[in-house]
Amino acid sequence: MPARLITIEGIDGAGKTTLAAGLREALVARGIDAVALREPGGVALAERIRSLVKDPRLEIADRAEALLYAASRAQLVAERVEPELAAGRWVLLDRYVDSSLAYQGAGRGLGLDAVRAINEFATAGLSADRTLLLAIDPSAGRARRGDRGEDADRLEREADEFFARIAAGYASLAAAEPARIRTLDATLAPEQLLAAALAELADLFE
């Protein structure tokens, strides 16, 4: 079975991390060697960038933010994603290029074309075989984040309008690429969401 790059997208609080962990266990149970990684992060340099972009004490210009995410992504792809795929493993990635298109392209208003161009360079054109978009109302996502009991990071402190633009951006991306991007109801119970995700990956198991 060929290696696959599966990305999981959605606004903060959609449940991406939980789904990624569940998917990895389900794939391993099927005899598929899989690894779960996160963005920004996954490798030492990218984790340092993660601490910068999430730091609420910092003011980061919109273009600088987009470039920092792209730089983190470039390192993760070179250091982990490409080698894992080359070794025949499935890679489950908690966020990828679509996050930048939605957050910086739509949310920050930088435009999809500009953000797509820098990420095409950052990833050397590596695209996902399948993307699972967890759709949830921004207010519900914010409520979930609050339930974690953690301090909000720099992006999580943005206004509701910011997340509304992001959600709309994700919906637009899904409408443009329905074969790759499969939209799932993030309000489902974790076990139901996992079953729905596996159903959307079924053709890749063949």
**Residue 118 domain flag:** yes
**Residue 99 domain flag:** yes
**Residue 206 domain flag:** no
Record the pTM.
Answer: 0.94
Which residues does the chain have with pLDDT short of 50?
none
pLDDT of residue 142: 79
d(CA 27, CA 123): 25
Closest CA to 98 of 6, 9, 5: 9
Could you tell me where the DSSP H helices lie in the chain?
A: 16-29, 44-54, 62-76, 82-86, 97-100, 112-123, 138-147, 160-176, 190-201
**Residue 107 domain flag:** yes
**Residue 41 domain flag:** yes
pLDDT of residue 150: 72
The crossing angle, in degrees rounded to 10, of helices 44-54 and 62-76 is 160
Burial 27-48 (b: 16+ CB within 10 A, else e): beeeebebbbbbbbbbbebbee
Considering its fold, how many domains does the chain have in total?
A: 1
**Residue 33 domain flag:** yes
Neighbouring C-alpha atoms within 13 Å toward the C-beta of 81 = 30
What is the domain extent for residue 78?
A: 5-201
Four-point Cα dihedral 72, 136, 169, 17, nearest 10: 10
pLDDT of residue 170: 98
Collapsing DSSP to helix, strand or coil, 6 comes out as strand
pLDDT of residue 151: 83
Q: Are 49 and 40 in contact (CB under 8 A)?
A: yes
pLDDT of residue 146: 66
Closest CA to 96 of 163, 5, 197, 1: 5
pLDDT of residue 175: 98
d(CA 97, CA 99): 5
**Residue 169 domain flag:** yes
Give pLDDT tens digits for 54-99: 999 999 999 999 999 999 999 999 999 999 999 999 999 999 999 9
pLDDT of residue 63: 98
pLDDT of residue 135: 97
pLDDT of residue 15: 93
pLDDT of residue 149: 62
- What CATH number does the domain containing 36 carry? 3.40.50.300
